[in-house]
């Protein structure tokens, strides 16, 4: 039994033949990948147009997240921004510090690279992303 457990740890379980056949079919289809990339380009175009005038935000090289810097001059950190955005506009974003770790810099300071950034996921349909971006902008304009 110990030998099987060791084998199982590294091998995992074998997929059934029908699941393997379905996987082959799915991996052979690149059209859904092209379609998905086009949808994300459309979302990024729309959302960045709305948010760029009020927030420090750039198009990512890859992925479906925007890493938005909280407004500098307001003193609102990532936790406050996320909490108040949810309370006032019913929009959920994740404080950046929750997604990264404290690290020691070469000069001996401890920093968290996610501090004063929030992560926004553009996974909802285009219309919902646009609506959310408009509400995020509206909230941000009350800060600046």
Residue-wise pLDDT tens digits, 47-84: 999 999 999 999 999 888 999 999 987 789 999 999 99
C-alpha distance from residue 85 to each of 27, 59, 68, 72, 82 (Å): 39, 21, 13, 16, 5
3-state secondary structure of 46: helix
Q: How far is CA 37 from CA 25, 32, 41, 103, 136, in A?
A: 20, 9, 6, 33, 24
Higher pLDDT, 59 or 29: 59
The 10s digit of each residue's pLDDT in 80-135 is 999 999 999 999 999 999 999 999 999 999 999 999 999 999 999 999 999 999 99
Give the model's pLDDT for residue 11. Answer: 65
Of the candidates 81, 71, 69, 91, the residue with the CA atom closest to the CA atom of residue 135: 91
Domains of the chain by start residue, with CATH? 18-143 (3.90.1150.10)
């Amino acid at each position: 039994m110990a030998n099987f457990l060791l084998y199982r740890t590294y091998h995992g379980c074998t997929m059934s033949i029908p699941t393997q056949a379905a996987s082959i079919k799915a991996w052979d289809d690149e059209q859904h990948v092209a379609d998905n990339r086009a949808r994300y380009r459309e979302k990024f175009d729309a959302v960045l147009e709305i948010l760029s005038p009020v927030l420090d935000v750039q198009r990512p090289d890859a992925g479906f997240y925007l890493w938005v810097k909280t407004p500098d001059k307001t003193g609102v950190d990532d936790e406050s921004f996320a909490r108040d955005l949810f309370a006032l506009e019913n929009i959920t974003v994740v404080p950046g510090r929750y997604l990264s770790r404290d690290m020691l810099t070469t000069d001996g300071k401890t920093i968290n690279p996610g501090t004063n950034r929030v992560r926004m996921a553009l996974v909802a349909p285009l219309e919902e992303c646009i609506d959310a971006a408009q509400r995020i902008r509206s909230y941000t304009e009350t800060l600046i």
